[in-house]
Chain A
Amino acid sequence: MAVETMTVEVAEASAMGLKAIGAGLAVGLTGIATGIAEMGIGAAAVGATAENKDMFGLALLFTVIPETIVIFGLVVALLLLF
């Protein structure tokens, strides 16, 4: 009986652990992808703003568009955890 209870507890704990790893991967990998996507856009945005100050608002908007990817990751992580 005691052994059976322990097996269930271990299974529940490892399920929780795997969920946490999944959540971590979801946020981590999307974060890296966002970083890569923003590298090019950010470089171009700084270049455009350096030449024309009026571009700042629009350039900033373009730069943060890939942030949506990491938000998707965060949503998936939250769904996994709660």
Chain B
Amino acid sequence: MAEVSTGPAPYIYVCTRMRVRKAKLLPREDYLRMLNMSLPEITRFIEETEYKSEIDELGASFRGIDLVEVALSWNLAKEYQKILEITPGALHQFTMSYLRQWDIQNVLTILRGKYQGVKAGRIKEILIPAGKLDRVMLDRLLAEESVERIADALRGRSLYPVLERELSAAMETGSFARMENELYKEFYRSIIADSKSGVKGGPVFLEYIRLEIDIRNVQNLFRLRMGRMDGDVRDMMIPGGSFSVDELQRIAGMENTDDVIDAFQKKAGFESISALLDTVREKRSIHEIEIELTRIMLGEMERLSKRYPVSICPILVYLEKKKFEVQNLRALARGKEANLSSERIGDYLVM
């Protein structure tokens, strides 16, 4: 059917809704307040926010940390599905492509769970049906007996070629890590292809994706350095960002962390974040660096969404910020459950 041109109004409508939703996310002060609360108090606190309906609905079936975990996952999935419903035209297509990363996460969770003999009910609790694979499809996958049959059930989906290629090796080694890397690489390759397919708004989407790939690569490089992983890192890097995989390999070989940051800063096309990378210099532990890089990424995404106010960016920024809000609340709840100190939990929050 020929697309009816309706002008920019539907785009403005959706972008405004996303901005309002972004404004409703929990502010820094709320996290600081929650750091001084116990788990039941945190549950009650988030019940008074956007998570009310999930906490009320699940309150009868779950208690304590499980209630918070499941409510957060449900809320995230509901929120993402709702956004898919209201986004029009090309924005819908891009949002859909972007949310496919949740399919990868869900399929990997199911495969890992099944491989280790975890019960289907337990796996289901931690699935977040925010992507193309809905609850019905995920239930079908959970009902399958073996890992191979799960892969077969995904025949015809975009994940299948990588699963087919990597599954036997993963089963032999008992580790799905390599398969996970390949799935994410394929995911980024396909969204880059989508953004270059000539659909209006594609270049802005591409700019956003490249930023995400850059930050992911930098994060991975720091992780590998901290884990003292020498040798060939090319396999673990995502192609398509500002840095080629070979350049990343060269940077990975550097001895000093300051040299690594210098190399990132010198790179043309990376200027916008290079000044911010100075803050990373002062951080010493890996989680501090990761949180700082995530913060840089979110700040930069926010900047992009302001530069292109009627584009895919405001939607993607909201999706990311919502994801980190849920991660923060989960970290808070888990930290409190494990009786960690407030300072320690605070270090892990992206505020």
Contact = CB atoms under 8 A, between A and B. Distances in A.
Instruction: Verify that A and B bind, or say they do not.
Output: yes
B319 to A, nearest CB: 16
Contacts of B15: 47
Main secondary structure of the interface of A (DSSP, over half): helix
Interface in A36-82: 39-40, 42-44, 46-48, 50-52, 55
Interface string B20-44: 1100100000000000000000000
A39 B13 contact: no
Nearest to A41: B12
B9 A43 contact: yes
A56 to B, nearest CB: 13
B13 A44 contact: yes
B96 interface: no
A39 B21 contact: no
B12 A43 contact: yes
Interface string B118-157: 0000000000000000000000000000000000000000
Main secondary structure of the interface of B (DSSP, over half): helix
Contact of B9 (A40, A52, A55): A40
B17 interface: yes
B21 A43 contact: no
A51 B10 contact: no
Contacts of A40: 8-9, 12
A23 B17 CA distance: 40
A51 B79 CA distance: 13
A44 B15 CA distance: 8
Contact of A42 (B9, B14, B17): B9
Interface of A: 39-40, 42-44, 46-48, 50-52, 55
Given A39-B9, A47-B17, 4 more contacts: A43-B9, A44-B13, A48-B20, A55-B20
28 contacts: A39-B8, A39-B9, A40-B9, A40-B12, A43-B8, A43-B9, A43-B10, A43-B12, A43-B13, A43-B16, A44-B12, A46-B13, A47-B12, A47-B13, A47-B14, A47-B15, A47-B17, A47-B20, A48-B16, A48-B17, A48-B20, A50-B17, A51-B17, A51-B20, A51-B21, A51-B24, A52-B20, A55-B20
